[in-house]
Chains A and B, each alone.
Chain A
């Protein structure tokens, strides 16, 4: 009897979290998968089972492939740089230097700003002829360039905005991790005659690995999750050159009202993110040193 009530007690404690998780995570994911096998209901026409038709359409959809490729480049461009930069900034503001608090705040500011506002500011940075970027390049006598209006520079421009926005956020995690490293290690290394770079490479970097793993997962998710700056700055243009997967899903779902195809694309996105997370946990976990 006592055992049973303890059981019930335990489940009751879990209930609020479980309800939220089921209602807002598990149910939508399962429903998405289900919807991807049906047609889009429209007016009087109800949804009917179409099997893999939506997936067939997706494979033949050039915009899907372009959005996916763009997204991979976007991930490749943002993740390593923002993590590297975050680590560098963290090491820098962890040292003893004047105005440290101010510097930390300055690095963190982009994270606090709403993405919509940020994107609007950057829109004017990139404006041809009188934007900030153009004024700098113009001062060096370089010809004017339409940064967001040309296929081969637009994605790069979005990558820069994202790095600027994310690096400060990741820095906070590294800063916390750095401060958790006992100073005794640095002293011991100094006595042994280890150089600063050697100390960083062999002591600090391995100790930061759990943080790096966490940050890496976040960075991967973010690279597939961020979409606001595209809506504000390019709307996926020119000619889909800056369309990312989630933006395309939004377009299909809420502009074309093709909810079945949007579900199909979402399943792909879920699969990518799930496999990325699993891969990171399985492979990197082994190489990560927890204290």
Chain B
């Protein structure tokens, strides 16, 4: 009874869809549905639509159907539920860290097997290596970098001047960042802080910002196979200790959990002198900061470094060979030097291929707005964002531990040992 009803409902829906799209089946066109999330400000949907239209003009016979699918989190929910009901998109932009989850769900096919011509092979090799770290496993490439970012340090030049620091020089290393932050923290007569030296957000996804500490401390959080984490490595604990000390010991960063969403606002309101956030916020800061600001790479310790972030193109398994070829063509087109440059300028993401930075458009833009190149230059030192099998769960174990340490309910080493134990438990089935 229920099954029958469901079938009837499905039939009704299909009929409605067919009625809405009368021309698709008639002409000899290949349709490529394409889910994309929007994670930064600006008229992104318009931009994607116009790019799809441009592509269709150059490639008659292929119809690109861009579908806005909400935030990254909503997009993977939609893509996976669509797959489970039998109608996944052909192409989707999802977090680079979702790779293992998508493989484990049997949702995607790799690009290596599809892009076989010498031209295609060269294309797959033309991205920044830092972006490819999160895009391949087991010798195969599963994701094509598209909207990628990294963490950088923004600083308020006026406050630097007031504190008698060189306004054009950001702290180079951990020691300097602490010294700078101490000079930049202001207190009123009764001892209440009116201006904080530095702010590193810790709500939602603290693990990502934490990688901005672990990478300079020359330690990685997981292996390449994605079935082992190193949360309780002494260098990891040391990195966490430094982060915790900024607020609890040195009192140059606000105590407790710092909200990711309000951090840029804190910066605009002149409550903080330095902040860590994504390069994706660059256009936002450029438009809203009513003062001179600078953008720098994250401070170094044993080395320089920051994690990459953002989204890749994934190709879903349940699509026809013709659709897959069309999707490949589209992915190559939209990541071409000119298009990648345009995408980078209009969104604030880092253009994903060195070739894009050689284009006239991007060179002109970078010359007029030098901070745009900081993220690119940092790529050389960047590492993969934390990603494992059962990614969200393993990441949550770390997030919970970080938040416990930052709020002072656990000591850093205890918090990281607990997180590692939890991650070991979750990852055990993947170590066979």
A interface residues (Cβ-Cβ under 8 A, vs B) = 19, 22-23, 27, 42-44, 123-124, 127-130, 138, 141, 143-144, 146, 148-151, 234-235, 237-240, 251, 254-258
Contacts and interface: CB of A to CB of B under 8 A. Distances in A.
Contacts of A240: 400
Contact of A27 (B2, B407, B409): B2
A33 B256 CA distance: 40
Given A23-B5, A124-B262, A239-B409, A42 B254 contact: no
Interface of A is mostly: loop
A239 B418 CA distance: 12
A255 B407 contact: no
Interface of B: 2, 5, 73, 77, 80, 101, 104-106, 190-194, 202-204, 254-259, 261-262, 265-266, 269, 271, 390, 392-393, 396, 399-401, 403-404, 406-407, 409
Given A23-B5, A149-B203, A151-B407, A129 B257 contact: no
Given A127-B262, A235-B203, A149 B105 contact: no
A257 B404 CA distance: 25
Contacts of B401: 239
A254 to B, nearest CB: 5
Nearest to B205: A235
Nearest to B404: A239
Contacts of A43: 104-106
A121 to B, nearest CB: 12
A5 B341 CA distance: 73
B77 A237 contact: no
Contact of A255 (B73, B105, B193, B406): B73
A92 B353 CA distance: 66
A243 B254 CA distance: 23
Nearest to A27: B2
Given A124-B262, A149-B203, A239-B401, 19 more contacts: A23-B2, A23-B5, A127-B259, A127-B266, A129-B266, A130-B271, A141-B190, A144-B193, A146-B257, A148-B257, A149-B255, A149-B259, A150-B257, A237-B203, A238-B256, A238-B406, A239-B407, A239-B409, A240-B400
Given A43-B104, A123-B262, A240-B400, A256 B257 contact: no
5 contacts: A22-B2, A124-B262, A256-B390, A256-B393, A258-B393
A149 B192 contact: no
B259 A123 contact: yes
B203 A234 contact: yes
A44 B401 CA distance: 33
4 shortest A-B CB distances, which residue pairs? Answer: A149-B256, A43-B106, A149-B257, A146-B256
